Copies of this chain bind each other. A is one copy, B any other.
Amino acid sequence: MSNAPTDLTERERDVLRVIIQDYIASAEPVGSRSVARRHGVRLSPATIRNVMADLGELGYLSQPHTSAGRVPTDLGYRFYVDYLMDRRPLTRAEESMIERRFRPVQGEVEDLMREATKLLSGLSRSVGLVLAPRVDQLAVKRIEFVHLSTERVLVILITTSGQVNHKIVILDDAIPQEELNKIARVLNNLVEGMSLSRVRQLLVKKMAEEKAMYDELLRRALELGQKSFAGETEGDVYIGGTANIMHQPEFADVEKMRSIFGAFEEKSKLLKILDQCLDQDGLTIVIGSENVVQEVQRLSLVTAPYWCAEHLLGTLGVIGPTRMEYSKIIPLVDFTAKLVSQHLTEVAS
């Protein structure tokens, strides 16, 4: 189905816009009367009705039942955000208001992420999401090994942004702390400042190069390094303000809500949702059924990527009822992403 601004006449676009804005504000089906009242060009309800019938035929509007007003379909929302909505950026005053709310954060990256979800959820009255930095893209500052027990070694990875990742590696045979320190020194010299994905490539290459491997220490270092840097770098997801969406009238039904909350609890589901957005560049809007995850197909999503210097790190945004205030939330998400990027870039320098 084609979906271009020119598919609709000026009048149809006007009517669609008014209906969606009205519905977003009221959560109730919009009738021809109220459109006629709000519509700039004075037209009678009857005329509006004709237009509405057309828009319904085209799939932009639907009726909950025969004699009720119209409700936007997902397609209608899509058209709205693509062509109808006015996307004015935030005013300076609004920006500084948000900045002030964000200020208290400094230090830990985790706190920054958590604070971002709070900010997003608080100002949008929806649910805030942050897909934590993909570790792959981060530059390694340092790696440390701590001997825990015979075969278990704690690997600590510090990035230039001050993030700390750790995991436990199981060894084939014991390595004393003494040697672990040496190995750490070797590896640190090798990888400092490189991104994690580069490090992985390098280690593979090095190992192949030194087949003969006269240097026993180097061999063990490369081996342990590979184990340490391997493994899925599954992104972490921060979520905040879930209680907010309970306000929405569309979730008065407890059963619907339960399935949504179930999905929110499953990190993997959230990851799937946010991954969908990471591929796009720039601000992304996913509306209702466009979403890949079943349980949240009554919800919509506004996300924007954030960066550290030139590296794309992750994405953050808001998930809430499809009937959300896009024209308020989009600038909010956009600005928050900028703010987070700025903080992360400052910290890394």
Q: Report which A residues bind B (CB closer than 8 A).
A: 107-108, 141-142, 144, 146, 148-149, 152, 154, 156, 158, 162, 164, 166-168, 240-243, 246-247, 251-252, 254, 257-258, 261-262, 264-265, 347, 349
Pick the contact of A258 from B152, B156, B240, B243 — CB < 8 Å? B243
Min CB distance, A144 to chain B, in Å?
6
Q: Which residues of B contact A146 (CB under 8 A)?
A: 141-142, 158
Closest to A240 in B: B265
Q: CA of A247 to CA of B254 in the docked complex: distance in angstroms?
A: 8
List 4 additional A-B contacts (Cβ < 8 Å) besides A141-B148, A162-B168, A243-B258: A149-B347, A154-B162, A240-B265, A251-B254
Specify the chain B residue showing the minimal Cβ separation from A247. Answer: B258
A164 to chain B: closest residue by CB: B166
Number of chain copies forming the complex: 2
B261→A168 contact, CB < 8 A: no
With A243-B262, A262-B243 known to touch, is A154 a contact of B164 (CB < 8 Å)?
yes
When distances are taken between beta carbons in the complex, the residues of chain B under 8 Å from A251 are 254
> Of B164, B167, B254, which is within 8 A of A156 by CB?
B164
Min C-beta distance of A46 to chain B, whole Å: 39
Q: How far is the CA of A158 from the CA of B158 in the complex (A)?
A: 14
Question: Nearest chain-B residue to A258 (Cβ)?
Answer: B246
- Judged by DSSP, the binding face of A is mixed
Closest residue of chain B to A346, judged by CB? B149
> Is B243 in contact with A168, judged by CB distance below 8 angstroms?
no
Given A154-B158, A164-B154, A167-B107, decide whether A242 and B265 contact each other with a Cβ distance below 8 A: yes
Q: Are B107 and A168 in contact (CB under 8 A)?
A: yes
Residues of B within 8 Å of A254, CB to CB, are: 246, 251-252, 254, 257
Q: List 23 A-B contacts (CB under 8 A).
A: A107-B167, A108-B167, A141-B148, A148-B162, A149-B349, A154-B158, A154-B164, A156-B156, A156-B158, A156-B164, A164-B164, A164-B166, A241-B265, A242-B261, A243-B258, A243-B264, A246-B254, A246-B257, A246-B258, A246-B261, A251-B254, A252-B254, A254-B254
CB A319 to nearest CB in B, in angstroms, measures: 15
Chain B residues within an 8 Å CB radius of A252: 254
Q: Which 8 A-B pairs have the closest CB atoms?
A: A243-B261, A107-B168, A246-B258, A164-B166, A243-B262, A148-B162, A146-B158, A154-B162
**CA distance in complex: A148, B154 (Å):** 22
Output the residue of A142, A148, A243, A247 with the most chain B CB within 10 A: A243
Determine the distance from Cα of A246 to Cα of B146 in the docked complex, in whole angstroms.
44
Least CB distance from A63 to B in Å reads 26
Among A247, A254, A264: residue with most chain B CB under 10 A: A254
What's the nearest-Cβ distance from chain B to residue A8, in Å? 38
Question: Residues of B contacting A168 with CB < 8 Å?
Answer: 107-108, 162
* A124 CB → nearest B CB, Å: 15
Residues in B whose Cβ lies below 8 Å from that of A243: 258, 261-262, 264-265
Chain B hits for A156, CB < 8 A: 144, 156, 158, 164
